[in-house]
A and B are shown apart, each in its own frame.
Chain A
Amino acid sequence: MQATTVIFMVLVLGVLWGGFAALLACSMRAERRRSSGAAGSPNAGGNGD
């Protein structure tokens, strides 16, 4: 495979898969913080209305 192909592939997959994985991890961490920390949190269960 040519070097350009490899570099381009790493860039595209890095942005997409790396970005997706980072955002998923971020939302999981936030979820864990919320569920462990806040009994009185506005997000801890209940209804959205």
Chain B
Amino acid sequence: MTKTESFTSRWGLLIAALGMAVGTGNIWRFPRIVANNGGGAFLIPWMIFLFLWAIPLLIVEMAMGRHTRKGVIGAFGRLMGRQATWMGAFVGWCTMAITFYYSVVAGWCVKYLIAAATGELSGVEGMAYWDGFQATVWQPLFFHFVAMAACALILYRGVVAGIERASKVLIPALFVLLMVAAVRALTLPAAEGAAGPMAGLEFLFNPNWSDLLNYEIWLQALTQSAWSTGAGWGLMVTYAVYSHKKDDIVGTAMTIGLGNNSASMLAALAIIPTVFAVLPLAEAQSVLRDSGPASTGLSFIWVPTLFGEIPGGQFFMTLFFLALVVAAFSSMIAMLELGVRIFMDFGMTRRRAVTSVAGGSAVLGIPSAINLSVFANQDAVWGIGLMVSGLFFAIAVGKFGVARFREELIEPANNDIPVGRWFDFAIKVLVPLQFTVLIVWWLYQAATSGEAWWNPFGVFTLGTCLFQWGVVLLIFYLANNRMAAATLGDEPAAG
């Protein structure tokens, strides 16, 4: 039996995990979500949920991966018993289904980086350029394949020479790029009639306390916190397989969470003051809220237009899209590795597993690359599916025994920060409660949206989510025993 590769150190694991967490969602999604949800007031629930949802789930994932030494399917099978491998398969599928279209976004970033660097984006009207790019069809497809191939090449090299080495370059580079962009944004001169970059700071950091009574802000904060940190995706399970026996779990999970949110804040400081430096107040607020087709608004429609109007615009636009490419690649590597680890657990070599996962993902991403409605549908279905994934992790720990999980799987590690009984409360009560509130709210919204909510072929309907989740869950439930045998062999259940 071949030995599993390991990161060279705790530092290697940490930097790879930061790469996993910090993705396009920090740069592309976060500034828009803040703007749409009250600016400063949003930051309070967003930080609360970092500690109540994301960090406890990251701790669970790390402990599961390190204890079971299996990818997400085998990890559920080993922890809960062979009959539960289907739950791990659902978690893995959710993340892989996101990977299919995430590669399309990474491809857009590559295309825009090249266009910014060559001056093709300078002085263009953002929406017209976007429409022209999408209308070619072959270009989104081509760049989707480029992004997939680039990540596959890194993964071929393995955990240390591939993932760890790439992360050690990409993550520091990303933070430096974001810092430079933020400093530039804050020192921009105000254009004629514009509010100026300091108005962006006022917008971002002046909370209207009454906004905290709006339940939607809390729900959006939970959603952003859950999706942006990668908690509940199974990605940390995968990376923890390559960790050392005594590596700190609690400190690593907290560093990932705080590092991810720090990157989001840097991205907001790079974008929001730029918008206010170029546009008058009301227009700036409206631009920040414009989600555009398939939520592309701020990054792919407005950034080319706005950066065209600032001094040194081409240089800083290139910097911005370089940061987006780096963030996209560092996360996509982790997402593909989740599939690779599962296939390696089934007995494949790394090279075959990478070829199968990257090749399959490239093919399954084609519909999203050529049709934005498919893209938006997949984004909604599997993005929301991650809530179910998070719940599955809480159920897995609940079945194993929350206190036993903490005492046997977390506390023996060299934790710089001790995990207290708060962890038991978070996993037993808070995570299921947050899931219930969020899912009930979403069901209510979906069922009262006016669209034919039951339609299984709608773009954003409740019916399409339930239909696609149902099909996937049924297939994995029926294939449970075969997956358990392929991943776990004849070993007995749990613990």
A27 touches B6 (CB 8 A): no
Q: How far is the CA of A1 from the CA of B186 in the complex (A)?
A: 13
Question: Which residues of the partner chain B approach A24 to less than 8 Å between Cβ atoms?
Answer: 255, 259
Which of B5, B47, B69 has a CB less than 8 Å from the CB of A12? Answer: B47
Counting contact residues on chain B (CB < 8 A from A), the size range is 35 or more
Q: Residues 19-40 of chain A: 1 if any B CB is under 8 Å from the residue's CB, otherwise 0?
A: 1100110111011001100000
A1 touches B201 (CB 8 A): yes
Question: Which residues of the partner chain B approach A15 to less than 8 Å between Cβ atoms?
Answer: 47
Q: Does B207 contact A (CB under 8 A)?
A: yes
Given contacts A15-B47, A23-B251, contact A43 B205 (CB under 8 A): no
A-B contacts counted at CB < 8 A amount to 94
Q: Does B414 contact A (CB under 8 A)?
A: yes
Q: How far is the CA of A16 from the CA of B225 in the complex (A)?
A: 14
Of all chain B residues, the one with the shortest Cβ separation from A9 is: B205
A5 touches B201 (CB 8 A): yes
**Residues of A within 8 A of B (CB-CB), count:** 30
Q: Does B331 contact A (CB under 8 A)?
A: no
Q: How far is the CA of A2 from the CA of B199 in the complex (A)?
A: 11
Question: Which residues of the partner chain B approach A42 to less than 8 Å between Cβ atoms?
Answer: 244-246
Of all chain A residues, the one with the shortest Cβ separation from B266 is: A17
CB B254 to nearest CB in A, in angstroms, measures: 6
Of all chain A residues, the one with the shortest Cβ separation from B9 is: A31
Q: How far is the CA of A8 from the CA of B43 in the complex (A)?
A: 10
Q: Tell me which residues from 237 to 278 in chain B have a Cβ below 8 Å from any Cβ of chain A.
A: 241-248, 251-252, 254-255, 258-259, 261-262, 265
Question: Which residues of the partner chain B approach A35 to less than 8 Å between Cβ atoms?
Answer: 9
Given contacts A4-B206, A27-B248, A47-B4, 15 further A-B contacts (CB under 8 A): A1-B202, A8-B40, A20-B259, A23-B251, A24-B255, A26-B416, A27-B11, A27-B14, A30-B10, A35-B9, A43-B9, A45-B8, A48-B243, A48-B244, A49-B4
Residues of A within 8 A of B (CB): 1-2, 4-6, 8-9, 12-13, 15-17, 19-20, 23-24, 26-28, 30-31, 34-35, 42-43, 45-49
